[in-house]
Amino acid sequence: MQNLIARIHTCGVIPVVAVEDADQALPLGEALLKGGLPCAELTFRTNAAPAAIRKMCRAYPEMLVGAGTVLTVEQAEQAAEAGARYFLAPGLDSEIVEWCRGHEMLFMPGVMTPSDISLAVKAGLRLLKFFPAVAAGGPAALKSISDPFIGVDFVPTGGIHAGNLAEFLSMPMVRACGGSWLAGRQLIAAGDFEEVTRRTAEAVGIVEKVRAGAA
Ligand code: 3PG
């Protein structure tokens, strides 16, 4: 699991994607890889999620494919069976936490308050999704609520884009940021995968710049 977390950190950005048609996973994976990002979170906001996860994993084994908006144990089972390597969710569900523990699956539940973080830490989790990152108060809020929790890391998601990515990524407790701006529904519906690649390459450039500055 540490290796997986290290790879997510290396990526720096997790594109959050909802595909309506599982076949879209193929040009999507190609576009993300071309932009330099071998990772994606395919969300259960659409019924195509399990089939899309399976197709992306098969076509691009080098990609770190995760499942997002995992709200039920049934979805967890479907996602794992399709090949997802990690799960995210908007909140913390103890049944899913238990399932992930039993199946050695990395689970990053959404947290927004110190109480949320306390519950997650008590459940043995150390990498959490700070959600909704911007609406919850942005970097200042994350700093305030995370300060007491030494050793807990975060993946801020919700309202992140090329303009505020660097600010979040520069925070020491941030492993990576998630967001749908790289491959939003409209871009995918329009088949504009060139724009997905452009936005991905732009995000990768920001990650590299932040890391070079921090080195
Ligand atoms: C998610 O599902 O994690 C969020 O909806 C992503 O947030 P964003 O669309 O603001 O990037």
What are 175-215's pLDDT values in tens digits? 999 999 999 999 999 999 999 999 999 999 999 999 998 64
Closest ligand 1 atom to residue 159 Cα is: 10
Closest ligand 1 atom to residue 18 Cα is: 2
Residue 1 has pLDDT above 80, yes or no: no
Q: What is the DSSP string of 10-58?
A: HH-EEEEE--SSGGGHHHHHHHHHHHT--EEEEETTSTTHHHHHHHHHH
Residue 24 DSSP code: G
Give residue 97's region: left, alpha or beta (phi > 0; psi -120 to 50).
alpha
Tokens of 36: 């330099």
- Residue of 16, 69, 196 with the most ligand 1 atoms within 8 Å of its CB, for mutation: 16
Tell me the pLDDT of the chain averaged across its residues.
96
CA pair distance 91, 108, nearest whole angstrom: 9
Taking only the tens place, the pLDDT of each residue in 17-37 is 999 999 999 999 999 999 999
- Determine whether 104 is an active site residue: no
Does residue 84 contact residue 53 with C-beta atoms inside 8 Å? Answer: yes
CA pair distance 192, 213, nearest whole angstrom: 32
Residue owning the nearest CA to atom 5 of ligand 1: 158
Residue owning the nearest CA to atom 8 of ligand 1: 158
CA pair distance 70, 35, nearest whole angstrom: 26
**What is the pTM (predicted TM-score) of this model?**
0.95
pLDDT score for 214: 60
pLDDT score for 150: 95
